[in-house]
Structure 1
Amino acid sequence: MGLERIRNFCIIAHVDHGKTTLADRLLERTGTIQTRDGVELVLDSMDLERERGVTIKASAVRMRYTARDGQTYILNLIDTPGHVDFSYEVGRAMAACEGAVLLVDATQGIEAQTLANLYLALEHDLVIIPVVNKIDLPAARPDEVAREIAELIGVPESEVLRISAKLGIGVEEVLEAVVQRVPPPRGDPEAPLQALIFDSHYDPYKGVIAYVRVVNGTVSMGRKIMVMSTGVTSEPVEIGVFTPDFTPTGRLEAGEVGYVATGLKSVRECRVGDTLTTTDRPAPEPLPGFRPPKPMVFASFYPSEGEDYELLREALEKLQLNDAALVFQPETSQALGFGFRCGFLGMFHMEIVQERLEREYGLDIVATAPSVEYEVVLRDGSVRTITRPSDLPDASWIEEIREPWMKVTLITPADYIGPVMDLITSRRGVYQNMTYLDPRRVMIEAEVPLAELLIDFYDALKSRTRGYASMDYTFIGYRAGDLVRLDLLVHGQPVDALALIVHRDQAYAKGRALVEKLREVIPRQLFDVAIQAAVGGRVIARATIKAMRKDVLAKCYGGDVTRKRKLLEKQKEGKKRLKMIGRVEVPQEAFLAVLRLGREA
């Protein structure tokens, strides 16, 4: 089939606006899958994806559709991840398309992530097909939301489609709009091969399977292929298309979307955004836009039982086969023993990895407080990158510490502008701009340090706006800040896993709150235990866990006072000796206390 009959498109939407449900209805309407046959949400294959209502892995499917003009078209739908942590993957999926269906919930209107993905689509020069979903719900405002979208992207209101993906209303119109409005792909089948990898996963029998959009040239069985950024070569094991199952065709031409089973043993050799070419006639240059995934959030995972260390290593290695963005290396903690320091794209990515380790591999894990990557400029001019507080050099060597900052876009009802602005300033944020999207909703732009976004910024935003606000963020660079290491000492011993890097202005409040929390969770001993928070060797907060007392005077029912004093002195000596040789076991709850440390302090 010629290029003029191919349409490549994706669906962009905020989390839970019905993107995957619409994809299912399109598959049913085109006869790609049988109606209601098997599971709901065909493209979301993971249990976690179905439970959370968010796509974690990109997927693709090829549909054959006979349009109203009587012609049969091939429609390639590329389903994109649905969370801000995976924005790079979303961008690469968009680079494989010519059009995008902009899906907006009729009850909620445009949200922060919708805008972020829309701007990303416009950067890639995609044709936008605006669609209002969930018009069947009682709280739906289809006309109002359609007007909002039309004003945003500058199209007549009549071009905004109104559908209900759940009931299948208006699905035919979406397919017709894709055929009529999305341009066919451009490409030269005779040119050297350039195929964009927009996703990949590991198969134990076929090696790494690369999901590709062929931009120029042809890929076929028997011709050796090469990954351009790494120079790794292999011979394809299988080439085919998604229907949505893997269907071998043996060949893909310019403009087509499909898969290439490379036989490679790690997704690190075949990354998202890279370019495939042939070894006998390589392309002069790779396709633009590729960059290796860069972890932004770091945390340590330790098995709660020491003997599970090897099981944890195996589980992380298996997860890494399918997730090139996950990085880890062994580390040791005085308090927690042997574990791994892991890097993630964001907090959501970390949650997903942790949940998969616990569910799929049956591991019980202790995770330390997440931290970010800091750049430390030393007095000799060198720059060192650190991902955990215990790696911070002595303060006398440090010229400055730089931390990552994010541009945050918040969309909130106008009634909550005050609480949202207060949240931004309380997290060291810098207000940038405010735009009214309509009389009731406002878009606020600000710059906030990533460390302040990590733990509960989103929860605090939702609670201050009664759940109505949405947010999106992008990395803008590193900036110097007055940062210090906050050490926690239990019984005079620093606990490395509880150390934090904080702003100097917040050190006392956080240290005080953490000390009080630890006093509650660390069990009492037979001697007094001091818990201290210190910055640079100076103690800024302290709490004491009082000793459990044994009543040694219980047997003295009379007699001289010197007899009682003798018993008390003997007990005092014993406690002093015990304090010198005693060890305090810090329970797991103490490490969870760091994660749950309230911001009220």
Structure 2
Amino acid sequence: MDSSRIRNFSIIAHIDHGKSTLADRLLEMTSTLTPQEMQSQVLDNMELERERGITIKAHAVRMKYRAKDGHEYELNLIDTPGHVDFTYEVSRSLAACEGALLIVDATQGVEAQTVSNVLLALEHDLTILPILNKIDMDTAQVEAVQQQVVDLLGGSPEDMLLISAKKGLGVSDVLEAIVQRVPPPPGGTDQPLRALIFDSLYDAYRGVICFIRVVDGTLRKGMNIRFHATGRTYEAEEVGVLRLQRIETDTLGTGEVGYLIAGVRAIEDARVGDTVVEARRDAVEPLPGYKPLKPMVFSGLYPVDSDDYDALRNALGRLRLNDAALLYEPETSTALGFGFRCGFLGLLHMEIVQERLEREYGIDLITTVPNVRYEVVGKDGSVMEVENPSSLPPASATEEIREPILAAQILLPSEYIGAVMKLVNERRGTYINTEYLHTDRAILHYELPLGEIVTDFYDRLKSVSRGYASFDYEHKGMRRGDLVKLDVLINGDALDALSIIIHRDKAQTWGRELCRKLKELIPRQLFEVVIQAAIGSKIVSRETVRPLRKNVVAKCYGGDITRKRKLLERQKEGKKRMKQLGKVEIPQEAFLATLKMDG
């Protein structure tokens, strides 16, 4: 099709503002799907996506629409995930578009992820169409939310489209606005081939399937192509378009969105954000913005049953095929046995992977305390990256430890500013400024250590703001911190799975709280169990689980006291010997307790 009649757009929104529902209505109104094929959240094809009401993987679909001017247009919807953990996927999807539909819930108003996505869209110089959804709800505040959007984007309230995606009200106006206001794709048909990979998935029979947007030139079936970042060359076995199923075509022209199959067996060879070029052309400039994905949060995953180790390794291997952001490597723990140290984009990503492993592969897991990647500068000036507390060099060999810092923004009603600032200050946040979007809504800008938010920060934020605050962040860099390694000792033996790298000011409080919780959770033995928290050789907290005592003097009735004393002394000797040989079983609840501790 002539590129002047192609429109590439994305839908961006905060979680649960109606993005997937609007996509359903657009597919219905363009007859892309028959009524029999239609179901709610049709683009969210993962069970977990439907259940949680969030989009985890980006999707693309082509629609045909005959506009009021009588011409037929090709509309390519490139769906995006809505959560901050998947910001890179969102940015690559936006790079494949010229326009974005910004959906704001008329009952909720502008939220943190809305602001973040708007900034991303403006970075890519996209045309933004503001849409107010759920206007049919009794609690909708149309005029107030319109003013919030005007304060955010500029323009006037008349520019906004008022819809109810669930009922289909105003959706036909959205289709017309896409045709009239979103510009056609630039790019030259006579230019050398350049195509952006905005997503990929693994097929057991065909290898990696790349979802691409052709920016310049034409991609033909049988063409020899090269992936610019890796330099690997392949033959394009199949190209085609996406209408929820893959429909094979001979070519993909400038501005078109489709898929490419080239017999790629490793998903690392076809990374999201890479540029596909023709193999015989060497001097082609890649498309801007490519960067390799870097995990931010790390955690150990161990099977509850050690016999499931091989099953866990196979399950992680399969998940890795469809999730290039998941990294894992084998590790061993004295307490938990064999497992894997896994790297995730963020906490939601970690939660999704764990849930998929348990649901789809039936593996019961123990998860260690999530932690982040630190930089350790040695006395000799060398810099090493540490993801596992057990890998931290001794303090005598360490000059400084640097931790990742986030530029965070918290959007909230003005009445909760005090409570939220108190929470963020407890988490070592550095205040930057407050920006008022409206008289009753503000954005707090902070710099926060990533290590302070990886456990329960989001839950606490929702609690102190009664669910109204929303949180967004981006990685800013590494900064020196007064950090120490806190070990947990059980009868003098270090329990490596509960070790943590923590700020010195919080170490004693954390250690005391953890020892207290472990005392409640570890069952009593026939010998005394000593639980200690230590920084290096300095013990900062201690709790004791008292031993169970068998009544060895029950058989003594009357007689001399020395008989009883002799029996008790013998019992004492036996307990001392048992303590040397005895092994304390740590219940799974002890590891889960660390995830629920107040930071």
User: Could you say which TM-score interval applies, normalised by the shorter chain?
Assistant: over 0.9
- The 5 A counterparts of 1:379-528 are 379-528=379-528
Residues 143-185 of structure 1: CA deviation (Å, up to 9, x unaligned): 2212221232111211111000000001011111110011100
Question: Do the aligned residues in 2 keep the contact of 1:227 with 1:233 (CA within 8 Å)?
Answer: yes
Name the aligned partner's letter for residue 177 of structure 1: A
- The aligned counterpart of 1:534 is 534
Question: Do the aligned residues in 2 keep the contact of 1:206 with 1:237 (CA within 8 Å)?
Answer: no
Judging changes above 3 Å, is the alpha-carbon distance between structure 1 residues 488 and 445 closer, same or farther for their aligned structure 2 residues? same
Question: Do the aligned residues in 1 keep the contact of 2:222 with 2:238 (CA within 8 Å)?
Answer: no
Answer yes or no: is 1:122 the counterpart of 2:122. Answer: yes
Answer yes or no: is 1:598 the counterpart of 2:585. Answer: no
- The aligned counterpart of 1:45 is 45
- The aligned counterpart of 1:35 is 35
Judging changes above 3 Å, is the alpha-carbon distance between structure 1 residues 38 and 7 closer, same or farther for their aligned structure 2 residues? closer
Residues 269-324 of structure 1: CA deviation (Å, up to 9, x unaligned): 10110001111235522111000000000001111111110000000000000111
- The aligned counterpart of 2:547 is 547
d(CA) in 2 for partners of 1:37, 1:287? 37
d(CA) in 2 for partners of 1:338, 1:119? 44
- The aligned counterpart of 1:147 is 147
Question: Do the aligned residues in 2 keep the contact of 1:193 with 1:282 (CA within 8 Å)?
Answer: no
- The 5 A counterparts of 1:249-328 are 249-282=249-282, 284-328=284-328
- The aligned counterpart of 1:135 is 135
Question: Do the aligned residues in 2 keep the contact of 1:515 with 1:541 (CA within 8 Å)?
Answer: yes
SS of the aligned residue for 1:254 comes to coil
Question: Do the aligned residues in 1 keep the contact of 2:11 with 2:19 (CA within 8 Å)?
Answer: yes
d(CA) in 2 for partners of 1:348, 1:563? 64
Residues 449-506 of structure 1: CA deviation (Å, up to 9, x unaligned): 0011111111001000111111101000000000000000001100111101110000
Question: Do the aligned residues in 2 keep the contact of 1:208 with 1:263 (CA within 8 Å)?
Answer: yes
Q: CA deviation at 1:28?
A: 0.4
- The aligned counterpart of 2:343 is 343
SS of the aligned residue for 1:309 comes to helix
Q: CA deviation at 1:36?
A: 6.3
Answer yes or no: is 1:333 the counterpart of 2:328. Answer: no
Answer yes or no: is 1:367 the counterpart of 2:367. Answer: yes
Answer yes or no: is 1:184 the counterpart of 2:184. Answer: yes
Residues 56-75 of structure 1: CA deviation (Å, up to 9, x unaligned): 00000101100111111000
Name the aligned partner's letter for residue 86 of structure 1: F
Question: Do the aligned residues in 1 keep the contact of 2:277 with 2:284 (CA within 8 Å)?
Answer: no
d(CA) in 2 for partners of 1:237, 1:315? 29
Question: Do the aligned residues in 2 keep the contact of 1:226 with 1:233 (CA within 8 Å)?
Answer: yes
Name the aligned partner's letter for residue 400 of structure 1: E
SS of the aligned residue for 2:453 comes to helix
Name the aligned partner's letter for residue 264 of structure 1: V
d(CA) in 2 for partners of 1:279, 1:570? 83
Residues 10-58 of structure 1: CA deviation (Å, up to 9, x unaligned): 0110000000110110010011012364421111000111111111000
SS of the aligned residue for 1:149 comes to helix
Name the aligned partner's letter for residue 232 of structure 2: V
d(CA) in 1 for partners of 2:156, 2:403? 44
Answer yes or no: is 1:108 the counterpart of 2:114. Answer: no
d(CA) in 2 for partners of 1:148, 1:501? 41
Question: Do the aligned residues in 2 keep the contact of 1:192 with 1:282 (CA within 8 Å)?
Answer: no
d(CA) in 2 for partners of 1:348, 1:172? 35
- Aligned residue pairs total 599
Question: Do the aligned residues in 2 keep the contact of 1:277 with 1:283 (CA within 8 Å)?
Answer: no
Answer yes or no: is 1:234 the counterpart of 2:243. Answer: no
d(CA) in 1 for partners of 2:360, 2:242? 26
- The 5 A counterparts of 1:199-218 are 199-218=199-218
Name the aligned partner's letter for residue 404 of structure 1: P
- The aligned counterpart of 1:246 is 246
d(CA) in 1 for partners of 2:39, 2:184? 32
Residues 545-584 of structure 1: CA deviation (Å, up to 9, x unaligned): 0000001111111001111111111111111111111111
- Which range moves more in the overlay, 236-245 or 395-404? 236-245
Judging changes above 3 Å, is the alpha-carbon distance between structure 1 residues 243 and 283 closer, same or farther for their aligned structure 2 residues? farther
SS of the aligned residue for 2:548 comes to coil
Q: Percent identity?
A: 58
Q: CA deviation at 1:223?
A: 0.9
d(CA) in 2 for partners of 1:404, 1:588? 29
d(CA) in 2 for partners of 1:13, 1:38? 22
Moved over 3 A (4+): 35-38
Answer yes or no: is 1:568 the counterpart of 2:568. Answer: yes
Question: Do the aligned residues in 2 keep the contact of 1:19 with 1:103 (CA within 8 Å)?
Answer: yes
Q: CA deviation at 1:7?
A: 0.5
- Which range moves more in the overlay, 402-411 or 435-444? 435-444
Answer yes or no: is 1:585 the counterpart of 2:585. Answer: yes
d(CA) in 2 for partners of 1:131, 1:566? 85
What RMSD over aligned residues (CA atoms) do the two structures have, in Å? 0.9
SS of the aligned residue for 2:229 comes to coil
Name the aligned partner's letter for residue 257 of structure 2: V
